[in-house]
Chains A and B, each alone.
Chain A
Amino acid sequence: DSGVTQTPKHLITATGQRVTLRCSPRSGDLSVYWYQQSLDQGLQFLIQYYNGEERAKGNILERFSAQQFPDLHSELNLSSLELGDSALYFCASSPWTGEREQYFGPGTRLTVT
């Protein structure tokens, strides 16, 4: 158990809908990363937050957005969902202060029908 929690574990929704995925980092970790895992694209970095501020963007679609709250939990919002958005979404956290290791949560499996 990495100490990173993600909810929900599974999510089934229809095309065109909007969903929110939630992540709680390990206690004391200030940085949160979101990744998408699909058979087509593999594991891809989406976006990173540090202490409430966006720090870096990867291959994140404009339909997707994220935020990190004062209590350091983070939410990934996916809108106008398409069939191709079906994937596993992982959150990872890192202490940031001189540490480089990223610890992954168990993921949320999103199925768009």
Chain B
Amino acid sequence: GENVEQHPSTLSVQEGDSAVIKCTYSDSASNYFPWYKQELGKGPQLIIDIRSNVGEKKDQRIAVTLNKTAKHFSLHITETQPEDSAVYFCAASFYSGGGADGLTFGKGTHLIIQP
């Protein structure tokens, strides 16, 4: 089955700086890669996703890149703000026209924004 590794487990950055979280996956059949943000006491919130036929996707301060050959994908957050502090999870799954399989998650990155 799929295995997703995520690094680092904790990331502390100064407010205004950029943060990068990296993930690798093992199953070359995976073609859908979402990122979730989880705040304390809440469920994971989808923040951005990318499909395997796309190399990069951007949404305001958040961007995701995908390297299919190397089987890794990354989340980039620019101009970090205090409200970006949370745990971030990467995930992978196989998606067909009929819908997506269950997600395989990384272990999470605790992002701390220092004022």
Contacts and interface: CB of A to CB of B under 8 A. Distances in A.
Interface of A: 2, 4, 31, 33, 35, 42-48, 50, 56, 58, 90, 94, 96-107
Interface of B: 32, 34, 36, 42-46, 49, 51, 89, 91, 93, 95, 97-108
A45 B44 contact: no
Given A43-B89, A100-B95, A101-B34, A106 B101 contact: no
Q: State the majority secondary structure of interface residues on B.
A: strand
A6 to B, nearest CB: 8
A35 B103 CA distance: 9
B44 A104 contact: yes
Given A100-B32, A101-B34, A94 B99 contact: yes
A47 to B, nearest CB: 8
A42 B102 contact: no
20 contacts: A2-B43, A33-B102, A33-B103, A35-B102, A35-B103, A42-B107, A43-B44, A43-B91, A43-B103, A43-B108, A44-B105, A90-B43, A97-B99, A98-B97, A98-B99, A100-B100, A104-B44, A106-B42, A106-B43, A107-B42
